[in-house]
Every structure is written in C-alpha cells, then in structure tokens.
C-alpha cells in the first residue's frame, strides 16, 4: 500500500541509542553492562497526524562477566558504584535475568549487541547510533580492536546524545517512561531515558524541516 500524495517517504528509517556501564573511565575499562534501545517513526496515519519518533520494541540489556583480559578497573569507580542504590549495583554484582547462572563473556555480549542491531529488517536504513561517542562508542570500539571482533556499527553512524540534550533539555530527567520506573546507571534504563531526548530532538528537526 502506498502513502497518500504529499506524505514524506519514511523509508523505515531508524536510530539506535546505546549506553554502557563500566568499572573505570579509561578506554580499556571493564564494561559491566550494555543497554540499547531502537527508535522509529510510529506508523503513518494521515498527512494531518505527524509521524513522531518513538521507542520501538523491547530494550537490549546484557550483564557482562567482569573477568575481561586486558581491561582494567579503577578503585574510585568501584567505590562510586557501591554508593549507588541497590538496584543500580546489580549492574556490577547481579546475574542476568535470562541466564541466572552466569554473566556473559564480553566477546559474546558485544556480539549479542551487534546481532541485535543487525537483525532489524531495516538495519540498512539506520540513520544514527546515539551514545557518548568519546566514551560508550569509544570503549566498544576498543573492545572490537582488543579482541579482534567486528565493531557493532560503522563509525560514521556515531551521533552525540549531548547535542540532542542541548537542543531539548526539557526531555531529560524523566523518572517514569511508559511502564518503566527508571533506575539510574542501569544501562537499558539509561538508554531508554536517553532515547526520550533523541526522540524529542528528531521530532524538533522534523518540525524545522516542515516535513512532517
């Protein structure tokens, strides 16, 4: 079925938001967890109803085995973690819900993220992967280089969440999103909170373009 004349061609465009939690701040820090969220435009209804950007599907979340050869922890970050609320601390001490007997090897965990992204039917139309490029994206690229595995996405898709937040500061800080009560420093929850900022930014850009 084709869209009505005058309706912008959406091409199933999508964005990904990625967040990681670590036990250090260096490029080779131990990564405790990875969270990610997919953003798409909601289905087109009519030319009178905008195709707003929104979170699509369930978030990705994996807890990683902290035994990561060649990667390091720093004492200050570990101390900081144990000053956080108990639910957040599960990112470094808890088991995976889906695999309660084990946390996932870092190579397998990063591979799971890559496959999660690649498995979307419209992966080829991904317009951007949002994170902190000089931290989240840099550490995941370091993992790819260190362990000689494929990167989770090509570098040219990197987008900076801070740019979106600067344009749409009112979208930040929600404590409840949909049915989820946000636990700060839980990677999938942080990705979900950051996705709200990216959605607000993309909707703003669409309005400025006058396209939707």
Q: How far apart are CA 34 and CA 49, in angstroms?
A: 35
* pTM as predicted: 0.87
Instruction: Please write the tens of the pLDDT for every residue from 128-166.
Output: 999 998 899 999 999 999 999 999 988 889 999 999 999
Q: Which residue has the higher pLDDT, 103 or 11?
A: 103
Q: How far apart are CA 61 and CA 37, in angstroms?
A: 9
Rg (CA), the chain: 18
Among 43-57, 65-79, 102-116, 146-160, the least confident range? 43-57
pLDDT at position 178 is 78
pLDDT at position 46 is 52
Please state, in angstroms and as integers, the Cα–Cα distance from residue 128 to each residue in 16, 107, 135, 178, following that order: 6, 23, 16, 23
Instruction: Please write the tens of the pLDDT for every residue from 5-49.
Output: 333 345 468 899 999 999 999 999 999 999 999 998 876 555 555
């Amino acid at each position: 079925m084709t869209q009505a004349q005058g309706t912008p061609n959406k091409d199933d465009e999508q964005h990904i938001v990625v967040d990681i939690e670590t036990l250090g701040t260096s490029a080779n820090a131990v990564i405790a967890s990875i969270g990610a969220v997919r953003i798409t435009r909601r289905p087109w209804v009519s030319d009178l109803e905008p195709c707003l950007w929104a979170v699509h599907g369930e978030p990705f979340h994996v807890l990683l085995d902290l035994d990561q050869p060649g990667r390091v922890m720093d004492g200050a970050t570990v101390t900081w973690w144990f000053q956080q609320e108990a639910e957040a601390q599960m990112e470094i001490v808890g088991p995976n819900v889906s695999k309660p007997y084990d946390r996932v090897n870092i190579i397998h965990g990063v591979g799971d993220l890559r496959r999660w992204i690649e498995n979307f039917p419209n992966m080829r139309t991904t317009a951007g992967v949002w994170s902190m490029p000089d931290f989240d994206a840099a550490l995941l690229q370091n993992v790819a280089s260190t362990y000689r595995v494929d990167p989770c996405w090509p570098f040219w898709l990197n987008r900076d969440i801070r740019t979106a937040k600067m344009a749409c500061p009112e979208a930040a800080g929600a404590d409840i999103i949909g049915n989820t009560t946000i636990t700060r420093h839980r990677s999938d929850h942080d990705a979900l909170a950051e996705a709200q900022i990216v959605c607000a930014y993309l909707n703003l850009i669409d309005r400025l373009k006058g396209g939707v």
